[in-house]
Each structure stands twice: as C-alpha cells, then as structure tokens.
Amino acid sequence: MKYVEHITSEGDRWDLLAWRYYGDPHLYEPIIAANVAVPIRPAIASGIRLRIPVLPDEVVLDRDLPPWKRGRQS
C-alpha cells in the first residue's frame, strides 16, 4: 500500500485528516489503522509524523451497505 506523509499541527483531528485527504470525514479508520502507535484522542498532538494511506478510487464502506452485505466488499 502507498502512503502520504503528514506532520500534524495544532488542532488536527482524525476526521479532519480524513476530510482533507479523502473528502469524507467518516473515512478516518484507514488513517488510524496505519498509525497504531498514535493514541486515539479527540485531538492529535502537533509534530507527529503520520502515514496517510492512498486509497483506491472506489471505497465501499460497511456503513453504506445493507446489513446483509456488511463485512464483505463487493
């Protein structure tokens, strides 16, 4: 998987990073998964080097699927 590097600044949050890089604040989970050493808190400390995964053009979220298809990508 390819990554983009991001150095956090004051006020950065997981959802704001997802909005900035993916255009959707709900896509923060791949960013958290790529940065397991960073504590999950409402705000991220400044000066932390994060890896932002480059996602495929078409990402299907479980929340966008009907209940019987959740957990599977189609």
Tens-digit pLDDT profile for residues 26-55? 999 999 999 999 999 999 999 999 999 998
| Residue 71 pLDDT greater than 80, yes or no | no
* Rounded to 5°, angle at Cα 43 from 11 and 2: 90
User: Does residue 28 contact residue 41 with C-beta atoms inside 8 Å?
Assistant: no
3-state SS record for 55-68 = CCCCCCCHHHCCHH
pLDDT score, position 72: 47
Helix (H, G, I), strand (E, B) or coil at 51: strand
More confident residue, 45 or 58: 45
pLDDT score, position 73: 46
CATH T-level fold of 3-69: Membrane-bound Lytic Murein Transglycosylase D; Chain A (3.10.350)
Domain boundaries, the chain: 3-69
User: Does residue 35 contact residue 51 with C-beta atoms inside 8 Å?
Assistant: yes
Position 1 confidence tier, pLDDT thresholds 50, 70, 90: confident
